[in-house]
Structure 1
């Protein structure tokens, strides 16, 4: 997509939508659900369970020293989000699907980063248990990042298919 203003507007709308959904849902959970309280949504399959995570994905790094958390969970994500956003605005050949995917990833990453900076922890609250498949407790920012990642994977598969059907098109 070549128009820089259109790319920026699409990116901002997707980031704002994901960030708003994440922060609104966390705000409601913090206000309405007590720590470790379990609220069934769909029987035992989907439960809201509020936890406060001072680490990263699946509580990784929860026991790390403060300086390591600062570097790996705040400084590095800020730099990464900034670098990805700048790259997106400069590179005119990114597809619409890639822009949307990166918007989801930036929106979700920013949501959890905002919590870490403001509260020193991230509120997680969704747990799914389908007997054979069970998740950790996560939030809407995590859903945004996973959605963006799946969209990027779809984009990669589409590119590979195009490349295989038209070898003269160049590298993937």
Structure 2
């Protein structure tokens, strides 16, 4: 149950942040947080990461439903008993729902975190994207450790 609460917290925080961006910033507006490194930049995306597959709503809908179904199944089967796995799946569920609800309600995803690590102009993302990334990294760590344990 705790991992579903994590998913809910991620979802709600993501949606609150996006709502604040939509209410208070114009699309394309950028606010420096740490000059030359981190900005809030209000953008919209109808595609996936790095704006690939723009406008392919049906593909995203089908993939999202399949991924959510699979992740929830894994959570029920094993995630509730394994803290690292449960945490990773909770983060994946929360992030997936955050971007999925944007696509359903707005027809596009609200992105706003714009970073320039080491001068590289990293694509603009959101909290749901961050949650998905961290969840996948934790899942890979879990799989690596579980594989070592099995040997």
Taking structure 2 as the reference length, the TM-score comes to 0.91
The aligned counterpart of 1:13 is: 5
Question: 1:159 and 1:92, CA in 2 relative to 1: closer, same or farther beyond 3 A?
Answer: closer
The aligned counterpart of 2:117 is: 130
User: How far is the alpha carbon of 1:92 from its aligned partner?
Assistant: 7.1
Corresponding residue to 1:59 among 46, 51, 60: 51
What runs of 5+ residues in structure 1 fail to find an aligned partner? 1-8, 168-172
After TM superposition, list the pairs within 5 Å mapping 1:28-39 onto structure 2: 28-39=20-31
Deviates more, 1:93-102 or 1:28-37: 93-102
CA distance in 1, matches of 2:100, 2:110: 11
Encode CA deviations 1:40-86: one digit per residue, 9 max, x unaligned. 00112001110110111111111x5xxxx233111220232023202
User: How far is the alpha carbon of 1:94 from its aligned partner?
Assistant: 5.1
* RMSD value, Cα: 1.8
The aligned counterpart of 1:143 is: 130
The aligned counterpart of 1:3 is: none
Secondary structure (helix, strand or coil) at the match of 1:137 reads coil
Aligned length: 151
Secondary structure (helix, strand or coil) at the match of 1:126 reads strand
What runs of 5+ residues in structure 2 fail to find an aligned partner? none
CA distance in 1, matches of 2:57, 2:30: 31
Tell which structure's C-alpha radius of gyration is larger: 1
CA distance in 2, matches of 1:107, 1:118: 16
Deviating 4+ runs (over 6 angstroms):
none
